[in-house]
Amino acid sequence: MGEVKFIDRIAKGNEAEGYMNLWLQENGIGFFGINQSPESFANFFVDRIKRPDYFVLLQSIGILGVDTKNCELYQGSYPLGINEINKAMAFERDTRIAFWFAYLHRSENRDCWYWISALSARSVGTLKTNGKTGDDFMSIGLQHFIPIRTRHDFGLLYTSQYQSGEGGLSVC
């Protein structure tokens, strides 16, 4: 049963990566897809950092490391593992490249991506423990994410500030 869930999680992750690739292409955003195999990174990085799915190139910001997520919204929040956040922050520290998580939200009208930086995820999330696995994760309210629907919304990433736990932007 555990193996089936792991395979499902990988399939959902691959689906999100495919949608992100298509979305970036359709919106004319420059990007590099990153090979996720461990041998594509130096041993120094293996198990120390979070490998992004994409490098997204934005003229006003520079390069962003982006990890795509395909999780269900649960009680108005998305989950994000503490280990993932720590590895994303290690990636930022070691490479000086900002790391963002982008959660896929599919709708009949238009796909939307909910973005949050690794540092913001760490500071605004609520620490919880998975009752089945014992793993710690952050539960992050949707109000803390930046909704990105089109290429024109990327300016919101540039103007985003660390949040104190209230407020936020509108949902898709």
Domain that holds residue 20: 2-159
3-state class (DSSP) for residue 47: coil
Q: Please tell me which residue, 109 or 59, carries the higher pLDDT value.
A: 59
The upper half-sphere exposure of residue 60, i.e. CA atoms within 13 Å in the direction of its Cβ, equals 9
Task: Work out the percent of the chain whose per-residue pLDDT is above 70.
Answer: 88
Q: Are 87 and 122 in contact (CB under 8 A)?
A: no
Task: Tell me what the pLDDT averaged over the chain comes to.
Answer: 86
Within a domain: 169: no
Give residue 82's pLDDT.
95
Closest by alpha carbon to 117, among 143, 151, 83, 92? 92
pLDDT tens, 63-77?
999 999 999 899 999
CATH of the domain at 25: 3.40.1350.10
Give residue 54's pLDDT.
96
- Tell whether the model's pLDDT for residue 48 goes beyond 80: yes
Place of tokens 């990105």: 148
Give residue 166's pLDDT.
47
Within a domain: 67: yes
pLDDT tens, 145-155?
999 999 999 88
Within a domain: 94: yes
Question: How many domains, in total, are found in the chain?
Answer: 1
Within a domain: 119: yes
Q: What's the pTM value of the predicted model, to 2 decimals? A: 0.87
Within a domain: 165: no
Q: Please tell me which residue, 1 or 121, carries the higher pLDDT value.
A: 121
pLDDT tens, 86-137?
999 999 999 999 999 999 998 777 789 999 999 999 999 999 999 999 999 9
Give residue 2's pLDDT.
54
Within a domain: 129: yes
In which band, very low, low, confident or very high, does the pLDDT at 167 lie, cut at 50, 70 and 90? very low
Closest by alpha carbon to 102, among 61, 72, 146? 146
Residue 86 DSSP code: H
Backbone torsions φ then ψ of 37, nearest 5 degrees: -65, 140
| C-alpha distances out from residue 17 to 2, 11, 60, 67, 154, Å | 23, 10, 24, 8, 18
Measured CA to CA, the distance from residue 112 to residue 117 in angstroms comes to 16
Measured CA to CA, the distance from residue 34 to residue 72 in angstroms comes to 24
